Structure 1
Amino acid sequence: MQTYLTPIRAAVAAVALAVAAQSHAQSAVTLYGVVDIGINYSSNTQTSVGANGVPVGHRQVYVADGLNAGKMGSRWGLRGKEDLGGGLEAIFNLENGFSMANGAFAQGGAEFGRQAWVGLKSNKLGTLSAGRQYEFTTEYVGALSAVTTFGGEFSTHPGNVDGLLNIRRANNSVKYQSPDFHGLSFGALVGLGGVPGSVSQNSVVSGGLRYNVSGLQAAVSYLNARNPNISAYGINPSSSGVTGNNLGSAGSATSAQNAPIIAGFASANTLEEVAVGMTYTMGAEQFGAVFTRTAFEGLGNTSQSGPNSLHLQGSVHVNNAEVSIQHHVTPLFYVGAAYDYAWVSSVGNLGTSHYHQVSLGGDYALSKRTDLYVLAAWEQAAGTNSLGKPAVAQIGYMSPSATNHQLALTAGIAHRF
């Protein structure tokens, strides 16, 4: 039997459909992600530290997620917005990191360890957000470094001391980002330490300025993290707390060293960093340069910070200078190269240390979403590291070498959805 709508019912149905359509247009949630995995080779991977203090290492071939030895970390996320009217939107971002090699959570087991924030966005006034977010060295200057432009993990500066590889986040933070003013934008972030009786303890302050016009992109950033063993390096659920060392480790008879370039600086009262970077695109070439200066200040602050086995006092500076070039052979295929020189000042009984690193990469796009890539990096170290031992090479967050040099190669596939 055929059913006919009365004029009133028809009008009600039309209004309901209009409201539903309007509601759908005003709010949206997007599921997105990246899966990245590769086969990797390291000429020397440290496995332990002998009784004489000399590291032990061997060649290694293994499968790893892109965050550990490739172009980008595997992730999935939810990004949403709701139109509130008058040019104002409610926005949020929840992003999980995981390992393609074994399926485990990344970021120390955090469910949304990459990002977890909510905020308001105005076309005229900018964006205000709160939660777990990237600070501005990572977001502004990191975007212009070889880490992002082509090299991923293989172009990370030794120990990722300057945070250009996008793993440095601020918990409990409030962040403002301005609108774009003819290519110029800026932002500021405050991470609240949450310690009763002390506003500054465990706090993070970050700011940045960037400029983007024609083929030129440039950015400058500032970061100040109080008690960085907690506020900058102890931000994941797996962190060892105040009494442990979240910057790295000296290794043992059953474990390798971890970030020996900075592991001895866990007792710093403050981490202070200034970074500047630029890229310039001219035809098929993109040229880049980055300089960062990271200071661990107030070493020996045992009341709030981590261990200090060498009883260091004062401050130490870690500087990185990088130049890079990327060439598009075709619209689907590009190659890149970068050189970074890192040098660490002396402090206490520690002498200086120096690190030379060359990274190379090639990427072929099978489609808009799927890439095949190859990466290579070589690093040589000299001097004395933060543990008071002869400096060893360490490419990105891969296990350090047992010697002062290391070569790493990878071939991988990355798919974005």
Structure 2
Amino acid sequence: MKKSLLTAALFGAVSMSAHAQSSVTLYGLIDAGLVYTNNQFGHSNWQEVSSSTQNTVFGLKGSEDLGGGLHAIFKLEQGFLLNNGAQAFSGDGFGSQAWVGLQSDPYGTLTFGRQFDVMNDLVGPLTAESNTWGGNMAAHPFENDNLAANSVVINNSVKYASPTYHGVTFETMYSFSNKAGNFANNRSYGFGLSYAQGPVNLAAGYLQLNGAGNGGGAVTSGDTSANFLAQRQRIWSLGGNYTYGPATVGLVWSHTQIDNASGVFSFGTGTYLGSDDASAGTLAGSLRLDNYEVNAKYALTPALSVSGAYTYTHGAYNGSSPGWNTGMLQTDYAISKRTDFYLEGVYQNVHGAPADSVLSHAMINTLSPSSSNTQVAVTVGMRHAF
């Protein structure tokens, strides 16, 4: 009898241990370098900066095996600026990501919290701006389509990601305003679909933001999570790339509709550029933007690569037709699996925008706006992942 009880107890302990297997990982990425810009508010500038290409972050992520192919998962991630230690999202303890959820091998993943949107998850990786070989500085004007490396993070969100079936993955999300009597103000929702099989990658998505920046809803302006302050922002995107040996070539299109806009944020200054900012002009009314990107990367050796991207952005704003030309070239050399050095140049020119509008000023992402319609920036930097 005693042997039977002991055997049962040991079997129970082993079973509990098997079902309680868990792991917690500390991780991060540091991106720092020097940037020369020919024009910021009318002056040339040398800067020591952080996150020119990839966001500088540290975080914790974990998983617990609940048995039967089910896992409890979480991620807590903070973005920061290496040069001064400041928070990337002002006032947020874990501004980059903060979520918890369940992952099922056969049924998919359901997560709750502050997360990246589904279009950023699936279409973003097909762009130069979301990758190490282009990154934040290569973003489309004003990061209008949220395809760069996770600059907009959405609060109060519930997201579902399907398992991958024959190369196809589906994601959808809904983000609450959390406002009594004002359910639709500052909420967000979207969906995305991707296909990856062999050398071919395709993806498409839709994202809508209602009243971004108002109060403590889905997207807030207090921590500069919002790109635009507007009544409504709708984004459609479609992209694909093809890999052949050491070469990858991609095409991306996105369409952004911004209704009743009142301003846009500059990621270089972290400040709102609206009617009270005489150096950048005003932004009011409806804005339509179509971004057409072609990008390419070529690995010369396993350690050395070159890449480039060109984006033409066509706009419609209060009877005008502004246009942007944005070009990027980068070379990167990895000295190990976790450490690399890069040299990147970005050029942007805007034409056709009203002279009294913020749109008439070139503004490479992460940098303060130019006083003219042209801006050129060159950065040399180092990245280290841990």
TM-score, normalisation: structure 2? 0.87
Paired residue type of 1:365 = A
Q: 1:339/1:159 Cα in 2 relative to 1: closer, same or farther (>3 Å)? A: same
| Superposed CA offset, 1:190-231 (max 9, x none) | 001112123222110110000000011111010111112338
Q: Report the counterpart of residue 396 of structure 1 in structure 2.
A: 365
Equivalent residues of 2:236, 2:254 under 8 A apart: yes
Q: Does 1:145 align with 2:131?
A: no
Counterpart amino acid of residue 193 in structure 2: L
1:225 to 209, 215, 224: 209
Q: Which has the larger radius of gyration?
A: 1
1:137 is displaced (CA, Å) by: 2.1
**Which residue does 2:85 correspond to in 1?**
103
Which of the numbers 320, 326, 339 marks the counterpart of 1:370? 339
Write the letter of the residue equivalent to 1:362: T
How far the C-alpha of 1:236 sits from its partner, in A, is 5.6
In 2, the alpha carbon distance for the partners of 1:154 and 1:311 equals 22
Partner of 1:255: none
C-alpha separation in 1, matches of 2:188 and 2:207: 7
Please point out which of 319, 329, 342 is paired with 2:300. 329
Match runs of 1:246-261 below 5 Å:
247=227
Instruction: Identify if the C-alpha distance between structure 1 residues 236 and 297 changes in structure 2 by more than 3 Å, giving closer, same or farther.
Output: closer
Amino acid at match of 1:184: V
Q: Following the alignment from structure 1 to structure 2, what is the Cα–Cα distance between the partners of residues 368 and 221?
A: 32
**Are positions 1:33 and 2:33 aligned together?**
no
CA spacing shift, 1:100–1:385, aligned 2, 3 Å: farther
In 2, Cα distance between the equivalents of 1:174 and 1:338?
Answer: 33
CA distance in 1 between partners of 2:180 and 2:349 (Å):
45
Kindly indicate whether the alpha-carbon contact (under 8 Å) linking 2:30 and 2:384 is maintained by their aligned counterparts in 1: yes
8 Å CA contact 1:200–1:226 kept in 2: the answer is: yes
CA contact (8 A) 2:322 2:353 kept: yes
Shift of 1:397: 2.3
Where does residue 94 of structure 1 map in the other structure?
Answer: 76
SS, match of residue 167 in structure 1? coil
Task: Name the residue aligned to 1:257.
Answer: none
Q: Determine the structure 1 residue equivalent to 2:186.
A: 202
SS at match of 2:317: coil
1:316·1:344 contact (CA, 8 Å) conserved in 2?
Answer: yes
1:85-121 deviation line (CA, Å, top 9, x unaligned): 1111111111011111111111123110010000011
Distance 2:73 2:283 in 1: 47
CA RMSD, Structure 1 to Structure 2 (Å): 2.8
Q: Determine which structure has the larger strand proportion and give its number.
A: 2
Taking only the aligned residue pairs, the percentage that are identical comes to: 34
Opposite residue 288 of structure 1, the aligned amino acid is: G
> Aligned in 2, Cα 1:293/1:412: closer, same or farther, shift over 3 Å?
same
> In 2, Cα distance between the equivalents of 1:411 and 1:36?
10
Q: Flag the 1:124–1:11 CA change in 2: closer, same or farther, 3 A.
A: closer
- Structure 2 equivalent of residue 412 of structure 1: 381
- The structure-2 alpha-carbon separation of the partners of 1:206 and 1:123, relative to structure 1 and needing over 3 Å to count, comes to same
Deviations 1:111-152 (A, max 9, x none): 100100000110111001110011122111111100123111
Instruction: Pick closer, same or farther for the CA change 1:237–1:346 going to 2, 3 Å.
Output: closer
Counterpart amino acid of residue 296 in structure 1: I
Is the 1:168–1:232 Cα contact (8 Å) retained in structure 2? no
**Residue in structure 2 matching 1:285, options 247, 262, 271:** 247
Q: CA deviation at 1:19?
A: 7.0
Q: 1:91 to 1:236 in 2, by over 3 A?
A: farther
Once the 2 structures are TM-superposed, how far is the Cα of residue 318 of structure 1 from its aligned partner?
1.0
Distance in 1 separating the partners of 2:104 and 2:223: 36
* Separation of aligned partners in 2, 1:88 and 1:407: 50
> In the alignment, which residue of structure 1 is the partner of 2:144?
161
Inter-partner Cα distance in structure 2 for 1:233 and 1:204: 6
The match for 2:40 is 45
Structure 1 segments, 4+ long, off by >6 Å, are: 10-17, 306-311
CA contact (8 A) 2:176 2:217 kept: no
Q: TM-score, normalised by structure 1?
A: 0.81
Match of 2:49 among 64, 67, 90: 64
Name structure 1 gaps, 5 residues minimum. Answer: 1-6, 47-56, 241-245, 248-261, 301-305
Residue deviations 1:29-54, cap 9 Å, x none?
Answer: 111100110011001111xxxxxxxx
* Amino acid in structure 1 at the alignment position of 2:200: L
1:352 corresponds to: 321
- The Cα shift of 1:405 comes to 0.9
Task: Tell me, yes or no, if the aligned pair for 1:156 and 1:396 is still in contact at 8 Å.
Answer: yes
Query: Which of residues 103, 106, 122 is equivalent to 2:104?
Result: 122
Number of aligned residue pairs: give it. 365
1:251 aligned residue: none
